[in-house]
């Protein structure tokens, strides 16, 4: 009797020690106690006064958990989702600690003036309004050329060519003869002869030299009317020049055109007279200022851009046609508008979304309409008000969580749809165990699922098995995945053994 009592006491102490050790280990390792499903949610709800629907990791919002703990994806605690948050399908709540871990930053929507700016690329070209054409004023011969090649630089008044004009020689001799005569009414004849020299195209300076020197000038000297470069040279020495024949063209460089390609969507921001700053790679750190002279009314079919013609002063001739330039156009007026950082916008292709920060750690995606962008700020024309706060970092994570929540809410509130027919798979194997609601099979490969040979359990159908099978028997079977993702048998039967084959 004493021996029996001693054994009972020893067993009781052993059980107490094992239970106490498990309790201590569970507390040290933070192992949750086994509870009925939903018990943890009810407890959390009783502490906070709010019912918990599920826990999740905000970084992986698609995965739900039925109890709290550490996230298997990130080094952080799982976050509860409460039932009172489900009323607004597009609104989510994030714990302040999680916001800190995610690096959520918010800024306030402000209303103030913002000068729109358009940054485009451009190319330097000649100012086509600063062009001078030098032509022959009398028939003759090109006796001498002072310029030899296109793009040669010339200065205003520089000699360009000498023309031997026989017609001018006769007119000059007639004028000198009338100037030397003393007959009455000679003054009228002299005026007529001088007028003839002007009609023949003789420059005023040549006529004055004729009157001063009293000598015939058989050659006419042509000089450059403006400074620039020779854009076109059409004659050579010894060629015949006819009246009105263009001999050469001079392109001025005092001003240049900068042709900027303005995107069609930004054309409304550019107006003639708008201020412009331009930079070229040849002179880093230096800015050239000018004005928009014209916005040409033609859109390129390939680039969908309009050409803005910009005039820039070029006093030292440093800007050469053909140079590329970076141009920033600024309209003369500023607009008073709602502004948010451009980085706060989420471009979805069909719409533009901003995450609005609400009180109590709540966030809601808001669809907005935007205007122009300048200095890292974007104009909001619809969807926000001044004083509201928007998220400028981690907004993509918040938007994905809000979209997922809205989708799940719609799915939960929708009428159940007819589930598509599950795909059936076929296999062969041996029955290892038959349970109440599961059959364990050691089966061969399942090609339709890319499975290899393995031993696993299959759920029995709701009506049970149609045929009789027993443990150890080789069978053929069909199965499919049910609504809970479990593999459920749809048919099972003994495998036929060919005649003459041993089992």
DSSP 403-426: HHHHHHHHHHHSPPPPPPPPPPEE
Question: Do 389 and 447 reside in the same domain of the chain?
Answer: no
> CA-to-CA distance for 20 and 42, rounded, in angstroms?
26
With 0-12 / 13-18 / 19 or more C-beta atoms within 10 angstroms meaning exposed / middle / buried, residue 16 is: exposed
CATH number of the domain to which 397 belongs: 2.40.420.20
Q: Residue 415: left (phi > 0), alpha (psi -120 to 50), or beta?
A: beta
> CA-to-CA distance for 327 and 119, rounded, in angstroms?
6
Query: E-strand spans in 136-238?
Result: 140-145, 153-154, 159-164, 219-223, 228-233
CB 70 within 8 A of CB 106: no
Residue 495 CB neighbour total at 10 angstroms: 13
Question: Do 373 and 453 reside in the same domain of the chain?
Answer: no
- Structure token pair of residue 331: 């309209």
CATH number of the domain to which 204 belongs: 2.40.50.100
Q: Is residue 341 part of a domain?
A: yes
Question: Do 355 and 377 reside in the same domain of the chain?
Answer: yes
Query: E-strand spans in 435-485?
Result: 438-443, 454-459, 474-481
CA angle 398, 403, 409 (to 5 degrees): 125
Predicted confidence pLDDT, tens digits, the chain (503 residues) = 444 444 444 444 444 444 444 334 334 333 333 333 344 444 444 455 677 777 877 666 667 788 888 887 766 788 787 766 554 556 777 777 777 777 788 888 888 887 777 888 999 999 999 999 998 877 888 889 999 999 999 999 899 998 888 888 888 888 888 888 877 777 888 888 888 888 887 878 888 888 888 888 888 888 899 999 999 998 898 888 888 888 999 999 999 999 999 988 788 888 888 889 999 999 998 899 999 999 888 888 888 999 999 999 988 888 999 999 999 887 756 668 888 888 888 877 677 888 888 887 788 888 888 877 777 888 888 888 888 888 888 766 666 665 655 555 545 444 444 444 567 888 999 999 888 888 899 988 988 877 778 888 888 877 676 567 888 999 888 888 877 767 888 888 888 765 554 44
Q: Which of 226, 251, 276 is the last residue of a domain?
A: 251
Q: Is residue 302 part of a domain?
A: no
Question: Do 178 and 147 reside in the same domain of the chain?
Answer: yes
> CA-to-CA distance for 223 and 229, rounded, in angstroms?
13
Question: Do 186 and 77 reside in the same domain of the chain?
Answer: no
pLDDT at 3: 47
What distances in angstroms separate CA 163 from CA 194, 214, 282, one per listed residue? 20, 20, 41
Q: Which helix H or strand E contains 132, and what residues bound it?
A: strand 131-135
Q: Residue 103: left (phi > 0), alpha (psi -120 to 50), or beta?
A: left
> CA-to-CA distance for 145 and 236, rounded, in angstroms?
7
Question: Do 140 and 231 reside in the same domain of the chain?
Answer: yes
Q: Is residue 431 part of a domain?
A: yes
- Structure token pair of residue 195: 């007028």
pLDDT at 48: 59
Q: Which of 413, 435, 453 is the last residue of a domain?
A: 413
Q: Is residue 70 part of a domain?
A: yes
Q: Is residue 476 part of a domain?
A: yes
pTM of the model: 0.50
Dihedral, CA of residue 390, residue 394, residue 398 and residue 399, to nearest 10: 80
Q: Residue 191: left (phi > 0), alpha (psi -120 to 50), or beta?
A: alpha
CATH number of the domain to which 481 belongs: 2.40.50.320
> CA-to-CA distance for 326 and 243, rounded, in angstroms?
45
- Structure token pair of residue 380: 């909001």
Q: Is residue 202 part of a domain?
A: yes
Using DSSP's 3-state secondary structure scheme, residue 300 falls into coil
Dihedral, CA of residue 9, residue 11, residue 14 and residue 18, to nearest 10: -130
In angstroms, what is the C-alpha Rg of the chain?
47
CB 115 within 8 A of CB 91: no
Q: Is residue 163 part of a domain?
A: yes
The number of domains in the chain is: 5
Q: Which helix H or strand E contains 293, and what residues bound it?
A: strand 288-299
> CA-to-CA distance for 478 and 25, rounded, in angstroms?
45
CB 98 within 8 A of CB 142: no
Q: Is residue 420 part of a domain?
A: no
pLDDT at 466: 59
Percent composition of the chain: helix, strand, coil (DSSP 3-state, to 5):
25, 40, 35
Question: Do 144 and 211 reside in the same domain of the chain?
Answer: yes
Report the candidate in 281, 282, 227, 279 with the shortest Cα–Cα distance to residue 258.
Answer: 279
| Dihedrals phi, psi of 451, to nearest 5 degrees | -90, 145
Q: Which of 368, 391, 413 is the last residue of a domain?
A: 413
- Structure token pair of residue 220: 């006419």
Q: Which residue has tokens 């003036």?
A: 113
- What is the span of the domain harbouring residue 466? 425-494
> CA-to-CA distance for 277 and 119, rounded, in angstroms?
10
pLDDT at 171: 87
Question: Do 143 and 159 reside in the same domain of the chain?
Answer: yes
- Structure token pair of residue 3: 């021996």
Report the candidate in 156, 315, 152, 314 with the shortest Cα–Cα distance to residue 226.
Answer: 156
Question: Do 12 and 69 reside in the same domain of the chain?
Answer: no
Size of the chain, expressed as the number of residues it contains: 503
Question: Do 385 and 455 reside in the same domain of the chain?
Answer: no
Q: Which helix H or strand E contains 356, and what residues bound it?
A: strand 352-357
Question: Do 138 and 241 reside in the same domain of the chain?
Answer: yes
- Structure token pair of residue 455: 């031993």
Question: Do 177 and 198 reside in the same domain of the chain?
Answer: yes
């Amino acid at each position: 009797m004493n021996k029996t009592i001693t054994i009972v006491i020893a067993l009781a102490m052993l059980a107490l020690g094992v239970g106490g050790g498990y309790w201590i280990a569970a507390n040290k390792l933070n192992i949750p106690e086994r509870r009925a499903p939903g018990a943890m949610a009810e407890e959390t709800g009783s502490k906070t006064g709010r019912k918990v629907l599920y826990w999740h990791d905000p970084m992986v919002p698609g995965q739900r958990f039925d109890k709290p703990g550490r996230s298997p994806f990130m080094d952080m605690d799982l976050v509860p989702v409460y039932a009172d948050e489900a009323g607004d399908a597009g609104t989510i709540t994030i714990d302040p600690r999680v916001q800190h871990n995610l690096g959520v930053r918010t800024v306030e929507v402000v209303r103030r003036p913002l000068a729109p700016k358009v940054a485009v690329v451009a190319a330097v070209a000649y100012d086509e309004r600063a062009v001078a054409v030098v032509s022959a004023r009398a028939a003759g011969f090109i006796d001498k050329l002072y310029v030899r090649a296109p793009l040669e630089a010339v200065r205003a008044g520089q000699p360009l060519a000498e023309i031997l004009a026989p017609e001018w020689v006769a007119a000059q001799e007639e004028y000198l003869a009338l100037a030397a005569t003393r007959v009455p009414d000679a003054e009228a004849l002299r005026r007529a002869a001088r007028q003839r020299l002007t009609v023949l195209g003789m420059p005023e300076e040549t006529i004055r030299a004729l009157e001063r020197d009293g000598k015939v000038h058989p050659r006419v000297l042509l000089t450059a009317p403006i400074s620039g470069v020779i854009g076109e040279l059409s004659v050579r020495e010894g060629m015949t020049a006819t009246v009105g024949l263009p001999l050469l063209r001079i392109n001025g460089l005092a001003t240049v055109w900068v042709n900027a390609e303005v995107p069609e969507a930004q054309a409304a921001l550019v107006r003639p007279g708008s201020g412009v700053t331009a930079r070229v790679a040849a002179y880093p750190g230096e800015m050239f200022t000018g004005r928009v002279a014209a916005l040409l009314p033609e859109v390129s079919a390939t680039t969908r851009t309009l050409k803005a013609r910009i005039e820039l002063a070029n006093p030292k001739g440093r800007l050469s046609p053909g140079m590329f330039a970076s141009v920033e156009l600024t309209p003369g007026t500023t607009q008073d508008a709602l502004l948010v950082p451009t980085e706060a916008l989420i471009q979805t292709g069909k719409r533009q979304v901003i995450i609005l920060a609400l009180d109590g750690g709540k966030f809601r995606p808001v669809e907005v309409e935007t205007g122009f962008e300048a200095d890292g700020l974007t104009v909001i024309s619809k969807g926000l008000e001044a004083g509201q706060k928007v998220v400028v970092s981690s907004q993509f994570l918040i938007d994905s969580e809000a979209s997922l929540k809205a989708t799940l809410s719609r799915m939960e509130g929708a009428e159940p749809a007819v589930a598509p027919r599950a795909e059936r798979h076929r296999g062969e194997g041996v029955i290892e165990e038959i349970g109440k609601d599961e059959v364990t099979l050691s089966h061969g490969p399942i090609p339709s699922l890319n499975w290899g040979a393995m031993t696993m359990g299959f759920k029995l159908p709701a009506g049970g098995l149609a045929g009789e099978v027993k443990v150890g028997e080789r069978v053929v079977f069909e199965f499919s995945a049910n609504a809970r993702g479990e593999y459920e048998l749809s048919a099972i039967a003994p495998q036929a053994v060919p005649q003459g084959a041993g089992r």
